[in-house]
Structure 1
Amino acid sequence: MRLEGKTAIVTGAGSGFGAEIARRFTREGAKVMAADLNGDAARAIAEETGGLAEAVDVSDTEAMKAMFDRALTDMGHVDILVNNAGMTHLPKPMTEVEEDEFDRLFRVNCKSVYLGARYLVPSMKERGQGAIVNIASTAGVSPRPNLSWYNASKGWMITATRAMAVELAPFGVRVNAVNPVAGETPLLKSFMGEDTPEVRAKFLSTIPLGRFSTPADIANATLYLSSDEASMVTGVCMEVDGGRCI
């Protein structure tokens, strides 16, 4: 029960890493708001975990403000924010990514972190405590070809994590990131372009431990960084990558 009595918001909680983070946090005692663009998926996770559900586009200012207002009203305060919602573009040369695709990518992967800070950090600062975990990627550390703008968005998240950590440390708010290697989630096929045994083998050949990450791997790391066990840890971007970035 490492999060007993804590409250949390997990974005992108309808599937993949986010769903498992919501489940794990609940098992550890937290009250979780599961937020997702897919409202039905968010409600399914909330029903499973006994938490709250919110249908939200994390790139939309008014929708995010409404979500945080509801969370603060219904839960009283928010101890933990996990910025997990994200997207990618299909593997292609950087010059072939359309402008609207680029804009959407940065709104979802980057602007959402800004909106979380804008609308939730003031209450954390007022209480003198809080933990934010951004789900970034090894793509921001060791980029893959033909995913240039996705790589760049995750590099942005890593820099934002460190900048936020330095600024918010005097107020008792910790900010960390988890950098997963490609995982067994709905986004995997998008990263690979196509899901075939040959493409999987090529991907796995770059991971020394020889497997993709799992939602449980990422939930475990996020749990640690969100818990009081990590009370002296801020500004860390933890690679959960089977050695991919060595």
Structure 2
Amino acid sequence: MSYQTVFITGATRGLGRALVIDLCSKGYQVFASGRDEIQLQQLIEQTGCLGVSCDLSQAEAVVPLFQKAQQALGHIDVLINNAGMNSRKCELAETTLEEFEQQYAVNLRAPYLLCREAMQEMLPKKHGYIINIVSTVAKRSNPAMSIYTAMKQGFAGLNNVLMKEAQPHGIKVTAIYPGGMNTAFRDQARPQYMQPESVATMVSQLLSNPEDVVVHELTCRPMVELE
């Protein structure tokens, strides 16, 4: 196994939780973080993963979280930036600065800091993998999604530059663009959308790809959704 240790954010619900379960079942050592302490403890008991709860909207908590993952795992082969949030759908004129700053903190600042820390560990080894869960919203311009779209498009830009900086050093970077998923991220169930377990399967397969192949982008959508 080329990659053995994985650090995943946003791991207590939806895709993050499905990823922890999937990767632990395949023998990876996983460190998980999320805001929900109760859900995280249940996940630790269910899978045997390691982890601590953390609020990524607090800038001063992000680097210490990465350091805790390093200490628990010994080293980090794979970083999966999965945490994300959208406070609500509304037109730009109705948004607040508080909403903007919260989404910036979770959707862009936190993954930036974690990517930076991961690169500092991976560069000397010339080995590692960073997987950034973006969203197909970054490929669109949907009304009532101004702040979330801005942050995800910024995240996509960050990922694309990082990919070009990392690849010459043997470090793989992949942006994942999932379409509609049936998770608690939405106000009501969407059974016609992708199940998080299905997307987790797609993501975890990246870690077993041949050494001489890197997937720069992976876009996946439910069958009911077209571009």
Q: Deviations over 1:80-120 (max 9, x none)?
A: 11111100031111111111011100110001111102222
In the alignment, structure 1 residue 222 sits paired with structure 2 residue 203: yes
* Percentage of matched positions with identical amino acids: 27
In the alignment, structure 1 residue 241 sits paired with structure 2 residue 218: no
CA distance in 2, matches of 1:143, 1:230: 35
In the alignment, structure 1 residue 142 sits paired with structure 2 residue 140: yes
Pairing partner for 2:186 from 185, 188, 194: 188
Q: Deviations over 1:208-234 (max 9, x none)?
A: xx9312111220121122334375214
In the comparison of the two structures, how many residue pairs are matched?
A: 226
What amino acid is aligned across from residue 49 of structure 1 in structure 2? T
Consecutive unaligned residues in structure 1, runs of 5 or more: 190-194, 201-209
Pairing partner for 2:121 from 101, 120, 123: 123
Aligned to 2:194: 213
* Contact residue 29 and residue 49 of structure 2 kept, 8 A: yes
* Contact residue 80 and residue 132 of structure 2 kept, 8 A: yes
Distance 1:111 1:245, change over 3 A: farther
After TM superposition, list the pairs within 5 Å mapping 1:1-246 onto structure 2: 6-189=4-187, 195=188, 211-229=192-210, 231-234=212-215, 236-242=216-222, 244=225, 246=227
State the Cα distance separating 1:140 from its structure 2 match. 0.7
Secondary structure (helix, strand or coil) at the match of 1:216 reads: helix
* Contact residue 43 and residue 52 of structure 1 kept, 8 A: no
CA distance in 2, matches of 1:188, 1:4: 35
Q: Deviations over 1:46-69 (max 9, x none)?
A: 221111011112233332222221
Please, what TM-score do these two structures have when normalized by structure 1? Answer: 0.85
CA distance in 2, matches of 1:97, 1:162: 28
* Contact residue 34 and residue 43 of structure 1 kept, 8 A: no
CA distance in 1, matches of 2:212, 2:198: 21
CA distance in 2, matches of 1:122, 1:102: 29
Secondary structure (helix, strand or coil) at the match of 1:223 reads: helix
State the Cα distance separating 1:168 from its structure 2 match. 0.8
Q: Deviations over 1:98-154 (max 9, x none)?
A: 110111001100011111022222111121111111111111112321112111211
Consecutive unaligned residues in structure 2, runs of 5 or more: none
State the Cα distance separating 1:162 from its structure 2 match. 1.2
What amino acid is aligned across from residue 28 of structure 2 in structure 1? A
CA distance in 2, matches of 1:17, 1:32: 15
CA distance in 1, matches of 2:226, 2:158: 20
